Structure 1
Amino acid sequence: MDSKGPPPYAQGGSSADMSRSLEDDSLVDGPLISADALHSAIRREFQTVPTSYHASFLSVLHVIYVVLSVCLGVLCVLKFGQEEVCKKILDSVQGGSVIVYGKVCLWALVLLFTACVRRHHSRAQSRGYLQFYRQMENVKHLPFIVHSTGNVVLLVVLAAEFQPPVHIYLLLTILGLEVLVAVPCLIYYAVKVMQFNRERPAPDVNQEDLSHSYNVTHSPTEIGFRGGSGLEEVVEKQADLIEYLKQHNTSLSKRLLNITAQH
């Protein structure tokens, strides 16, 4: 009797498949990096946003400018007994012109501050901190908007050619309103950035993974949206995450190509 058994190539293929499955199982069952270790590594690699120092310095500079402008307007323009001192310091330049020149320089500093903030916030966005970027989107532009609005009102006052007492009163009023609005905005911005740097959070994608795993572990029966979360907010957040993941994949592909080219 001829006994038919499995062909040799079938035995070889089955043994190869078995060894491959064992290798895959060993890879799957191998030790994985814990979420706490990943989170601690992310915290060590966290890059702070240094613009809180810029905002604090600009706030102090703005207050000093307004105080000096008030002193200059009262003593040199309204002429409360300090005409000789003003002539020695300012020479032939009028006190109102000095205040206007200082206002232009301050506006230029605010413009540089806004550009610096935009650059650092774009870097934070590219590192995955999308929620922080969205929260500070409007706050970071408020000082520039306030100073630009003050410049427009100041140009209107200068074009109207009021009499000297009324002119200086209006000028100092504009500067006072600016400092009352711009400085609290800068302080609020600096506090928020300092809190962000102190917390050293993980990127939003990692936070979503941690919260998702926590919800699955502790409340597996909950599905759908929770109350209070709008659909538009969810869609915008998902769009930001998709954009971040696309940029992250592009950067990883470039790094992989560079490593491959080196080897």
Structure 2
Amino acid sequence: MDSKGPSLYPQAGSSVDMSQSLDEDSLVDGPLISADALHSAIRREFQTVPTPAHAGLLSLLHVVYVVLSMCLAVLCVLKVGQEEVCASILGNIRGDSVILFGKVCLWVLVLLFTGCAQHHHSRARSRGYLRFYRQMQGLKQLPLTVHSAGNVLLLVVLAAKLSSTVYIYMLLSVLGLELLVTLPCLLYYTVKVMQFNRERAAPDVTQEEHSHNFSITSLPTETGFREGSSLEEVVEKQADLIEYLKQHNTLLSKRLLNLTAQH
């Protein structure tokens, strides 16, 4: 009994080891998900940023507003031979007041566009496109900054109580300056976002990992603190890495569920 007793435990342990090894071998021998499959799955989930249409519409409305304001100022404020027509259309409302009301409406539209762009760019950032978010951060806010500065200039002109002719010329100058700065900005923004949507690139961390795997002389990606890098940049890169790992784990979970269902 004593001689046989000890031999039972190794046999039981060996059977457990064999069953575990068989299970591990079955998992290892099973179909594994490759990096290319992960990249292609993430690429299929790419979502475009729909703000180019909004920027184009805002640019068109801005041009129409400036053109109508100039016509209104020349015909109804400076009174170049169209007093009767202006009186029949505007009634008792002054032409410069109509221009200022339109300026307020345009500023509200620019504010709505900035909020909409911020929403969609934040969603792109949460999907791992941190580099694109940084590039567009100042560009998408520039129109609102320009129009807000224009409002301040108009308040200064109103407070100065200039003559009617000088006042209307200053008003048109501010509107023209806003158009000259905002329109190229919106066009450039539209081109950059359309280029981003057309490329349908993978998230930043995926691109860095891909370039690191296929480049011999490349250094490891900077997900930690490096000399010369700011704390904000490190935190944003770590947040981008966490978001990528969440997507990675989601894809692996889906693959594991499919393999479990097959067996």
Provide the TM-score with structure 2 as the length reference.
0.84
- Cα distance change of structure 1 residues 149 and 223 upon mapping to structure 2, 3 Å threshold: closer
Instruction: Give the root-mean-square deviation of aligned CA atoms.
Output: 2.8
2-structure distance, mates of 1:222, 1:187: 36
Match of 1:261 in 2: none
Match of 1:158 in 2: 158
2-structure distance, mates of 1:249, 1:36: 15
1-structure distance, mates of 2:86, 2:172: 18
Moved more, 230-239 or 81-90: 230-239
1:53 maps onto 2:49 in alignment? no
2-structure distance, mates of 1:48, 1:222: 30
Q: How many residues align?
A: 246
Asked whether the 8 Å contact 2:48–2:197 carries over to 1, the reply is yes
Provide the TM-score with structure 1 as the length reference.
0.84
Displacement after TM superposition at 1:205 (Å): 2.3
Asked whether the 8 Å contact 2:205–2:244 carries over to 1, the reply is no
Q: Aligned AA for 1:125?
A: R
Percent identity of equivalent pairs: 63
Any idea what SS the aligned residue of 1:81 has? coil
Q: Aligned AA for 1:197?
A: N
Q: Aligned AA for 1:46?
A: F
2-structure distance, mates of 1:59, 1:222: 43
Displacement after TM superposition at 1:79 (Å): 1.1
Ranges in structure 1 where 5+ consecutive residues have no aligned partner: 257-263
Displacement after TM superposition at 1:129 (Å): 1.1
Deviations 1:96-142 (A, max 9, x none): 11100000000001111111111111111111111111111111110
Match of 1:213 in 2: 213
Asked whether the 8 Å contact 2:121–2:133 carries over to 1, the reply is yes
Match of 2:120 in 1: 120
Moved more, 14-23 or 184-193: 14-23
1-structure distance, mates of 2:221, 2:106: 47
Match of 1:239 in 2: 235
2-structure distance, mates of 1:225, 1:209: 7
Asked whether the 8 Å contact 2:143–2:182 carries over to 1, the reply is yes
Match of 2:133 in 1: 133
Any idea what SS the aligned residue of 2:214 has? helix
1:42-81, aligned counterparts within 5 Å?
42-81=42-81
Ranges in structure 2 where 5+ consecutive residues have no aligned partner: 254-263
Deviations 1:148-200 (A, max 9, x none): 00000000001111101100000000000000001111111111111111111
Match of 1:186 in 2: 186
2-structure distance, mates of 1:32, 1:225: 25
2-structure distance, mates of 1:197, 1:205: 18
Asked whether the 8 Å contact 2:208–2:221 carries over to 1, the reply is no
1-structure distance, mates of 2:177, 2:228: 36
Displacement after TM superposition at 1:87 (Å): 0.7
Deviations 1:56-93 (A, max 9, x none): 10011001100110111111111111111111111111
